[in-house]
């Protein structure tokens, strides 16, 4: 029965003891024996039973335990420590299982995150490669211009050879070739003044640029005067000078442009090959990564129900523990609140002591 049932029953059936009569003269008085004072509790670890005691399985017995502890000098922490430690032993295996499940889920999440990072990196590289613009080049125009420049140079050579033929009937080919090369490719600097407007002009630079073309054109003009009229010779000299000044520079410049265009064309072909190869690799690796992620997620989903059941069982035991602790403390506090209003005989009667 509960504390209040004991108290109500005792108030109806047990009379309050009166003070004993004073002893008569010549009769020895009987000394009153005070109830034994309980010893102070020993600070030690609570003894945890291997099996659940009766007062943990029966709430009525637990209430009685709370009443007994409340009417005695014992502290409630002794009993509540036993309750908490008992349930701690009950949930220890569950806690280990939950920890193992969480570690496994954390490991699977780590593997899934690694696959997601690899997939994102592949997608970024694939998008970057597909969006990379090809290099600009004018290879067809450069090739056509180079062919025309070569044809112009060949025509200039035959024009020079024709002009020198009357003056040098023998070895005309070698002499015309020397004059042609001296006028066309007498450029000592890397770039021409006509193609480098930011360069600083100087007498030395101007002489390096135009000295040989002017001298070669003047030589052709003088040789043409021997067989042609002065206007025709002058026109031939000016035309050859123009070809010397611009034709040779144009041919050399087109060779440089051709080199750059060939590099750009080769880079574009390599880019196209890389795009095709990486696209095939991207599809294969993406499919494999997604398959691995699906497998890892399936393993995670298989663990989650077990984790949920284990956590629910642990929470149930913890709720049971908290309920028993609150029930014991409630009975303890109620008994302790009326303890001082009861006499020793009443307290012993409630506790069932003789």
Could you count the other beta carbons within 10 Å of the beta carbon of residue 296?
19
Residue 108: alpha-carbon gap to chain centroid? 16
Q: How far is CA 130 from CA 124, 148, 276, in A?
A: 10, 37, 9
Tell me which H or E stretch contains 65.
helix 59-71
Tokens of 148: 């025309």
Burial of 249-264, coded b for 16+ CB within 10 Å and e otherwise, reads bbbbbbeebbeebeeb
Q: Are 331 and 60 in contact (CB under 8 A)?
A: no
User: Is this structure's pTM higher than 0.85?
Assistant: no
* Burial of 70 (C-beta count, 10 Å sphere; 0-12/13-18/19+): buried
Q: Are 69 and 332 in contact (CB under 8 A)?
A: yes
| 244 DSSP assignment | I
* Burial of 120 (C-beta count, 10 Å sphere; 0-12/13-18/19+): exposed
Query: In this structure, what are the phi and psi dihedrals at residue 276, rounded to the nearest 5 degrees?
Result: -65, -45
Q: Are 328 and 58 in contact (CB under 8 A)?
A: no
Residue 152: alpha-carbon gap to chain centroid? 63
Could you count the other beta carbons within 10 Å of the beta carbon of residue 195?
12
CA angle, 326 then 327 then 330, to 5°:
80
Q: How far is CA 353 from CA 68, 144, 228, 345, 346, in A?
A: 11, 124, 156, 9, 10
Residue whose pair of structure tokens reads 């040789």 in the numeric block? 223
* Burial of 55 (C-beta count, 10 Å sphere; 0-12/13-18/19+): buried
- pLDDT per residue, tens digit, the chain (354 aa), is 554 555 444 443 333 333 344 344 333 333 333 333 333 333 333 444 456 777 777 888 888 888 788 777 778 888 888 889 988 998 999 999 999 999 999 999 999 999 999 999 999 998 988 888 888 888 888 899 889 888 888 888 888 888 888 888 888 888 888 888 888 876 655 555 555 556 666 677 667 777 888 888 898 998 888 888 888 888 988 888 888 877 777 787 788 888 888 999 999 999 899 889 988 898 999 999 999 999 999 999 999 999 999 999 999 999 999 999 998 888 888 887 877 676 667 666 666 654
What does the alpha-carbon distance between residue 318 and residue 84 come to, in Å, rounded to a whole number? 9
| Neighbouring residues of 15: CB distance < 8 A, sequence distance ≥ 6 | none
């Amino acid at each position: 029965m509960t504390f209040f049932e004991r108290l109500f029953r005792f108030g109806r059936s047990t009379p309050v003891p009166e003070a004993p009569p004073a002893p008569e003269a010549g009769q020895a008085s009987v000394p009153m024996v005070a109830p034994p004072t309980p010893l102070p509790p020993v600070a030690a670890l609570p003894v945890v039973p291997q099996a659940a005691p009766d007062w943990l399985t029966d709430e009525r017995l637990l209430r009685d335990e709370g009443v007994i502890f409340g009417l005695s000098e014992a502290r409630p922490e002794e009993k509540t420590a036993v309750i908490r430690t008992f349930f701690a032993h009950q949930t220890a295996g569950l806690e280990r299982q939950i920890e193992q499940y969480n570690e496994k889920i954390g490991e699977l999440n780590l593997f899934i995150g690694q696959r997601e990072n690899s997939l994102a990196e592949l997608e970024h590289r694939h998008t970057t490669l597909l969006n990379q613009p090809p290099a600009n080049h004018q290879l067809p125009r450069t090739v056509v211009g180079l062919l025309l420049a070569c044809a112009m140079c060949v025509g200039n050579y035959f024009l020079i050879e024709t002009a020198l033929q009357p003056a040098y009937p023998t070895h005309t080919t070698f002499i015309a070739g020397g004059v042609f090369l001296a006028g066309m490719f007498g450029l000592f600097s890397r770039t021409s003044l006509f193609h480098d407007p930011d360069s600083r002009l100087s007498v030395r630079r101007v002489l390096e640029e135009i000295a040989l073309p002017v001298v070669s054109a003047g030589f052709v003009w003088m040789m043409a005067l021997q067989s042609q009229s002065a206007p025709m010779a002058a026109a031939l000299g000016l035309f050859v000078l123009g070809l010397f000044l611009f034709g040779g520079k144009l041919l050399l410049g087109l060779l440089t442009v051709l080199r750059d265009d060939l590099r750009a064309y080769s880079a574009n072909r390599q880019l196209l090959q890389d795009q095709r190869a990486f696209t095939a690799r991207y599809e294969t690796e993406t499919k494999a990564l997604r398959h691995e992620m699906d497998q890892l997620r399936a393993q995670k989903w298989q663990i989650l129900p077990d984790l949920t059941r284990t956590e629910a069982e642990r929470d149930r035991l913890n709720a049971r523990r908290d309920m028993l602790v609150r029930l014991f403390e409630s009975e303890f506090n109620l008994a302790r609140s009326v303890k001082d209003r009861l006499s020793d005989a009443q307290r012993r009667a409630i506790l069932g002591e003789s």
